[in-house]
Amino acid sequence: MTSHTSPPATPFGGTLRSLRRAAGLTLEELSEASGVSVRALGDLERGRSRGPQRRTVDALAAALGLDDEQRERVQRLAGTGRERGGAPTPPYLLRTVPDFTGREQELAELESLATGTRTRAAVLFGPGGQGKTTLAAEAVRRLSGAFPDGSVCVQLHGMSDSPLPAAEALVLLLTALGHPPDRIPVDPVAREAVYRAALAGRRALVVLDDAADETLTRPLLPDAEGSFVLVTSRRPLAGLEGVRRIRLGGLSGGESTRLLERILGTPRTDGQSEALTRLTELCGHLPLALRIVGNRLSSRPSWTPAHLVGQLADEGRRLSGLVAGDLAVRGALALSYGQLTPPHRLLLRRLSLLPGHGTGPGLAAVLTGEDPLTTGDVLDLLVDRGLLEETAPGRYALHDLVRLFARERLDAEEPESVAREVQLHMADWLLRSASAAGRMFEAPGAPEPWAGTVPAFCPGSAEEAEEWLIAERSNWAGALPLMYAADRHTEILHTSRTLYWFSDRWSQWPEWRTLFSYGARSAAAVGDRAAEAHQLNCLAWAHSVGASQYERAEQLARQALELAIETGDEGQQAWAWAYISGACLALRPAEAAEAAAKATRLFDVVGDSAGKAVSQRVLGRALRESGRAEEALALHRALLDTSAGDVPGLNEFIQVLLRHEIANDLLALERWPEAVAAYRTVITPLARGDLDRYLAQALTNLATALRHCGEVPEAREHLTRAQELFTAAGDTVSAAETATTIERLG
């Protein structure tokens, strides 16, 4: 007698049996209703026939009363059986790649979780194209030794129009785990209990790839012991209990470059470091985009990385260039976009109109006309769908490639006239809001912002105003060219006027050069010569103080002086001489002192005490640079005794700067202990945002005084901090000089 072994059950067979039982039909009744023989049905359910033809599945679906989604899923299972030619395989295989690069931190965390005893499930989530499935495959490969009972993977089709229901996924999983198909319960709750018992009794690794939501995923999670489940999803699945979430973002710059090098090989990448770096930037460090770039170059031996850089540099062509065979960034993004509701799509499209790199709910709401609370909910949903990044609490940004995709959809789905109107409306709101915030730092009597259809942001305090101006600075600065192109010159000048005093608090911002440049151009456009002189003076300050571009600053200040003389504006003449003095300090200190003296006399004439204080401080610096440090010290101390102002926060700021000048004077006079004491009163107030360069210089000078007092260890400590600050501020020359000084200290 020969033994007979039944073929292993198939996912299709197990699903068919469950559907038949759920419908309350016997094999004979289903045969009669469908026209498929009882023997054929038995072979299908027992796995002897693995891949029925489409017409057979359609007949069975009609007899079972399946809806369109159920019919599609059953056809998909049948198609899988046909493709595999009857070979007994797991329901879904994850494919590893030989050039896998990066993600070491995430892999280490997964290993810790999988081999631990507390957390039995993890969710890898993030935007499309971040390589979640590839990472899951690598995790399976590396963790195979920790799971002696093997691994099983199921594709849940979360991004399709018909995600796999949990009940059907359980059939696939139980079948793959070796559970007899005729013993899989019809009742979903009982089926779930059998599945969890199977996991608890073994050490297996289960991967649930492309999960749609919590409802379809929760029944597939394990109990507290036994196996480990790894879920991949574009969403964080925040409703799941007892899971660890690991968010995938872009690769680092170094990882991105290494991935391209591993795909292409050494002969194609030698001497191409600059082009490779640029390619990683154009890809936004998105793994899918990097893979596409690597594959395109691999398939074009005559192409160099620099050639592809030339193609992708054009934003209008970039997404079309990020295609290789069936891999496409646009397609990955379109899947997520297609699952959004019309209001969510509208906001995503219009976010591409933002001039800056991020937004809060208030600004985003202006783009659609919704209220900020509703808009905040939509922004959070876009984050969950992987189309938006929350860079900080309440701050959102588009990935560069998502921004290009959103702009494509905007151009395709909304008239150009509507997009222009929305963009100008946004720009108007931004400048009105910036003006309202700037008023909190202006002298009393500053004019109100102009009226608009949407109320501008109105801060309740100087702190709230400063927070908004910092958060939205790339947006309000980016609104200036939009308003200028629309001939909104009066509004630009108003904005520049109300941000004038606030600019002193963050003097290093490059946005001031943008603001005052457009202010000068708008003043010229409307023929206001006095306003143009004022804006040119402000621009001279921005180039001098904010960028150390002293020659350009002097040119601008002398242009302002000519206009101020032409219009008879002695106040702007005084400021022009003050800025000329500041620009001349480094190279021509004697001339700087003469210009500062002229500014001081003119400020006296017009009664501008704040301007006089500025010019006298510059005069003191010029005296010190000219070798007259005693006179500079006397002048700066006198100024400190009389400094006062009406602008909130400015008086304290000026006093800190004067104490800094006094400390510098004492250093020049080699009065080391006094200089140490003076610098100690300066470094703590300077330790706030955007004063890093001032603080670094103060720390450097304090270290000099300490060294002469014999306090070398503390001097070295301050120099190390100064070097960090110079580096962070982009002042590489000063950072290198400081590093040399540290080496000399030993």
Q: pLDDT tens-digit profile of 125-145?
A: 998 899 999 999 999 999 988
Q: Residue 235: is its pLDDT beyond 70? A: yes
Q: Residue 89: is its pLDDT beyond 50? A: no
Q: Residue 6: is its pLDDT beyond 80? A: no
Instruction: Pick the more confident residue, 200 or 602.
Output: 602
Q: Answer for the pair 285, 256: CB distance below 8 angstroms, yes or no.
A: yes
Record the tokens describing residue 510, joined without a space.
């490059």
Q: How far is 329 from 331, CA to CA, in rounded Å?
A: 5
* pLDDT (tens digit per residue) in 455-509: 899 999 999 999 999 999 999 999 999 999 999 999 999 999 999 989 988 888 9
Handedness of CA 385, 389, 392, 396 (dihedral sign): negative
Q: Which residue has the tokens 């590093």?
A: 739
Instruction: Pick the more confident residue, 287 or 17.
Output: 287
Contacts by residues 628-635 (CB-CB < 8 Å, ≥ 24 positions apart) = 629/665, 629/668, 629/669, 630/669, 632/661, 632/665, 632/668, 633/662, 633/665, 633/666, 633/669
Q: Which of 219, 205, 90 is nearest to 136 (CA)?
A: 205
Q: How far is 286 from 330, CA to CA, in rounded Å?
A: 12
Instruction: Pick the more confident residue, 639 or 290.
Output: 290
What pLDDT does 646 receive?
A: 45
Q: What's phi and psi for 276, nearest 5 deg?
A: -65, -40
What count of other Cβ atoms lies within 10 Å of the Cβ of residue 569?
Answer: 20
CA dihedral of 456, 459, 465, 471, whole degrees rounded to 10: -60
What pLDDT does 34 receive?
A: 83
**Least confidently predicted of 232-246, 271-285, 433-447, 503-517:** 433-447
Q: How far is 200 from 221, CA to CA, in rounded Å?
A: 11
What pLDDT does 8 receive?
A: 45
* pLDDT (tens digit per residue) in 501-539: 899 888 889 999 999 999 999 999 999 999 999 999 999
What pLDDT does 648 receive?
A: 43
**Least confidently predicted of 75-89, 320-334, 432-446, 732-746:** 75-89
Q: How far is 79 from 71, CA to CA, in rounded Å?
A: 12
Mean pLDDT along residues 618-628: 90
> Alpha carbon of 541 to those of 346, 528, 546, 560, 600: distances in Å?
42, 20, 7, 11, 17
Q: How confident is the model at residue 745 (pLDDT cuts 50, 70, 90)?
A: confident
What count of other Cβ atoms lies within 10 Å of the Cβ of residue 202?
Answer: 14
What three-state secondary structure class fits 107? helix
Q: What's phi and psi for 125, nearest 5 deg?
A: -130, 160
* pLDDT (tens digit per residue) in 33-46: 888 888 778 778 77
Mean pLDDT along residues 303-328: 92
Q: How confident is the model at residue 651 (pLDDT cuts 50, 70, 90)?
A: low
What pLDDT does 2 receive?
A: 34
Q: How confident is the model at residue 688 (pLDDT cuts 50, 70, 90)?
A: low
Instruction: Pick the more confident residue, 655 or 309.
Output: 309
Q: Which of 543, 619, 544, 523 is nearest to 574 (CA)?
A: 619
Q: Residue 88: is its pLDDT beyond 50? A: no
Q: How confident is the model at residue 3 (pLDDT cuts 50, 70, 90)?
A: very low
What pLDDT does 726 receive?
A: 86
Q: How confident is the model at residue 643 (pLDDT cuts 50, 70, 90)?
A: low
Q: Residue 9: is its pLDDT beyond 60? A: no
Instruction: Pick the more confident residue, 645 or 582.
Output: 582
Contacts by residues 323-328 (CB-CB < 8 Å, ≥ 24 positions apart) = 323/292, 324/291, 324/292, 324/295, 324/296, 324/299, 325/295, 327/288, 327/291, 327/292, 327/295, 328/292
What pLDDT does 431 receive?
A: 97
Most confident of 80-89, 174-183, 590-599, 656-665: 590-599
Q: Answer for the pair 544, 579: CB distance below 8 angstroms, yes or no.
A: yes
Mean pLDDT along residues 557-575: 97
Q: What percent of the chain has pLDDT over 90?
A: 59
Q: What's phi and psi for 106, nearest 5 deg?
A: -65, -40
Q: Answer for the pair 217, 189: CB distance below 8 angstroms, yes or no.
A: no
Average pLDDT, whole number, for the chain? 88
* pLDDT (tens digit per residue) in 375-418: 999 999 999 888 999 999 999 999 999 999 999 999 999 999 99
| Edge-first strand listing for the sheet containing 244-247 | 151-155, 205-209, 228-233, 121-125, 244-247
Q: How confident is the model at residue 443 (pLDDT cuts 50, 70, 90)?
A: low
Give the residues across from 359 on adjacent strands.
396
CA dihedral of 458, 460, 463, 465, whole degrees rounded to 10: 10
Mean pLDDT along residues 95-108: 91
Q: Residue 51: is its pLDDT beyond 70? A: no
**Least confidently predicted of 78-82, 581-585, 631-635:** 78-82
Record the tokens describing residue 519, joined without a space.
């202010």
Q: What's phi and psi for 554, nearest 5 deg?
A: -65, -40
What pLDDT does 172 receive?
A: 87
Rounded to a whole number, what is the distance in angstroms from the first to the last CA of the chain? 91
Q: Residue 48: is its pLDDT beyond 90? A: no
